[in-house]
A and B are shown apart, each in its own frame.
Chain A
């Protein structure tokens, strides 16, 4: 069974801090994703990575960056956290290689920016 692990379930940070959210998958998946989940807005894609050191902007990349130095790990970085980045963040992965593969999600990190 695919395991997508997000390092923190809850995180509280202050405005202006640099914040790192970590995600690890154990199934050698090529593709990894970061979403934010907000009530009434659903899931919105922040960034997507289809290979090590490769990344692509999603729908709402502003204020975020990502890092994928190893295949199993995909990090989301808030360069200077702001209160409007308070949200639930979800990481997901897929094997790649064509359509038909569902995304596997982590438990999420609930981030509060004070």
Chain B
């Protein structure tokens, strides 16, 4: 069975500093990876997915199949980035997602 690991429950970063939220997965096939974000008092929403290869709100994530990782990065943190971040995996042909345990990111002014 597939598994998603987010090793950091809490992460605090100063405003303007680089941010990296770690995500590792275990799955023998070719996965589809996502990052979801939940801002305070808002619903969970898609931030980005690896097949799109795009930057959203300054965040990027690259799928590294050799290291089975999909780390989320941003070069300069902003206060509005404070939120809960979840990494998720979907296997081919499957509609279900497997989520990691989440990382709460706090940006220190």
Residues in chain A within 8 A of chain B (CB atoms): 31, 33, 35, 40-45, 48, 50, 58, 90, 92, 94, 96, 98-100, 102-103, 105-108
Contacts and interface: CB of A to CB of B under 8 A. Distances in A.
A102 B49 contact: yes
Contacts of A103: 46, 97
Contacts of A102: 34, 46, 49
Interface string B74-90: 00000000000010001
B100 A105 contact: no
B95 A94 contact: yes
Contacts of B34: 102
12 contacts: A35-B99, A40-B101, A42-B6, A43-B86, A43-B102, A48-B96, A58-B96, A94-B95, A99-B32, A100-B49, A102-B34, A105-B45
User: A33, A40, A43, A107: which has the most chain B beta carbons within 10 Å?
Assistant: A43
Interface of B: 6, 9, 32, 34, 43-46, 49, 51, 86, 90, 92-97, 99-102
Contacts of A92: 44
Given A90-B44, A99-B32, A107-B43, A42 B96 contact: no
A100 B97 CA distance: 12
